[in-house]
C-alpha cells in the first residue's frame, strides 16, 4: 500500500524552513532595541553627570560666597571699632598689575585672630602676593611684632601670616579724605596723619565675571564729617 493510499502526504523539507526574510527582520528588531536601550542609558548617565557637575559648581559658589561674607563682616567689624589715632599706610609698594600696595595699620586691636597670642601683636599688614605657579593673587594678613631692640620706627617681625582670600584676579582699595573730599589710591601718614574716614575695597576673582565692591567706615575722630557722594 502506498503512502498516498494510507492518507499520508509528504511535505518537502524546504517547505518546513522559516523564511530568511523573517529571521533577518527579527535580528534587526533586537539590534534596534539594544541601540535604544543604549541611548536611554547614556542619556540617564549624561543627566546624572550634569546634575553632579551642577551640584559641585553650586557647592563651590556657596563656599566662595560664604568666605566673602565672612571676610566682609570681619573687615567691617574691625574698621568700625578701631580707636582714634591709629596709624595707617598704604601704597608703599606694588605687587602686581591690578593690585594695590600693602595696607599697614598700627595702634589698634588685631583683626583676623585665630590664636590668642596674636592679640599681643603691635601691628597688622594686609598684603597681596602672587600665588606660586599661578596667575592669581592672594590676600594675606600678617601680624607683626616690634623687636625689643628695634632701631627704626617701621621695623617689625612677622609673627604669623595667613591667606584670607585666594584666587583673586585683582584687588584695590581707596581712601576717602573728608577735608579734601577726595578718594585716594594710597595713604601716606606723613602727609595725612589722621586716618581716612572711609575705605573702599574692590576685588574680583578669576573665572568669575562679577566685581565686588564694599565701602567701610573707619572709626576715628572725624566721625562728624559728611559722607562722600
- Whether residue 210 sits in one domain with residue 137: yes
Among 52, 79, 106, the domain-final residue is 79
Last residue of a domain, one of 33, 57, 79: 79
Domain boundary among 64, 79, 94: 79
How far apart are the C-alpha atoms of 221 and 159, rounded to whole Å? 30
C-alpha cell at 41: 542609558
Q: How confident is the model at residue 217, as a pLDDT? A: 92
Residue 222 domain flag: no
Please name the helix (run of DSSP H) or strand (run of DSSP E) that holds residue 181, with its range, or none. Answer: none
| Same-domain pairing of 27 and 69 | yes
Say what the pLDDT of residue 99 is: 47
Whole-angstrom distance, CA of residue 103 vs CA of residue 93:
10
Could you tell me if 151 and 168 lie in one domain?
yes
| Positions of the chain with pLDDT lower than 70, given as ranges | 1-25, 44-60, 92-100, 132-134, 220-229
- Cα–Cα distance list, 17 to 20, 23, 28, 49, 212 (Å): 8, 11, 19, 49, 79
DSSP state of 58: H
Could you tell me if 171 and 136 lie in one domain? yes
Residue 98: left if φ>0, alpha if ψ -120 to 50, beta else—which one?
A: left
Summarised one tens digit per residue, pLDDT across range 20-47 is: 445 445 777 777 777 787 777 777 666 6
Question: In whole angstroms, how large is the CA radius of gyration of the chain?
Answer: 37
In a domain, 52, yes or no: yes
What's the domain range around 58?
18-79
User: How many structural domains is the chain composed of?
Assistant: 2
Same domain, 131 and 96: yes
**What pLDDT was estimated at residue 183?**
94
Statement to judge: residues 128 and 206 lie in one domain:
yes
Amino acid at each position: 500500500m502506498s503512502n498516498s493510499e494510507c492518507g499520508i502526504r509528504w511535505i518537502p523539507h524546504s517547505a518546513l524552513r522559516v523564511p530568511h526574510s523573517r529571521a533577518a527582520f527579527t535580528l534587526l528588531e533586537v539590534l534596534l532595541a539594544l541601540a535604544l536601550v543604549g541611548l536611554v542609558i547614556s542619556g540617564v548617565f549624561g543627566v546624572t553627570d550634569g546634575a553632579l557637575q551642577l551640584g559641585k559648581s553650586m557647592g563651590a559658589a556657596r563656599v566662595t560666597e560664604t568666605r566673602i561674607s565672612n571676610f566682609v563682616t570681619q573687615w567691617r567689624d574691625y574698621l568700625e571699632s578701631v580707636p582714634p589715632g591709629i596709624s595707617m599706610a598704604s601704597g608703599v609698594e606694588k605687587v602686581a598689575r591690578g593690585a594695590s600696595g600693602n595696607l599697614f595699620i598700627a595702634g589698634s586691636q588685631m583683626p583676623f585672630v585665630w590664636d590668642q597670642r596674636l592679640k599681643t601683636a603691635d601691628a597688622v599688614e594686609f598684603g597681596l602676593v602672587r600665588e606660586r605657579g599661578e596667575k592669581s593673587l592672594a590676600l594675606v594678613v600678617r601680624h607683626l611684632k616690634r623687636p625689643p631692640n628695634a632701631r627704626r620706627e617701621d621695623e617689625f617681625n612677622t609673627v604669623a601670616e595667613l591667606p584670607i582670600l585666594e584666587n583673586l584676579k585683582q584687588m584695590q582699595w581707596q581712601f576717602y579724605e573728608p577735608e579734601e573730599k577726595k578718594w585716594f589710591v594710597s595713604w601716606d601718614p606723613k602727609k595725612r596723619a589722621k586716618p581716612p574716614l572711609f575705605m573702599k575695597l574692590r576685588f574680583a576673582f578669576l573665572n568669575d565675571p562679577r566685581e565686588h565692591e564694599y565701602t567701610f567706615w573707619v572709626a576715628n575722630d572725624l566721625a562728624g564729617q559728611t559722607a562722600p557722594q
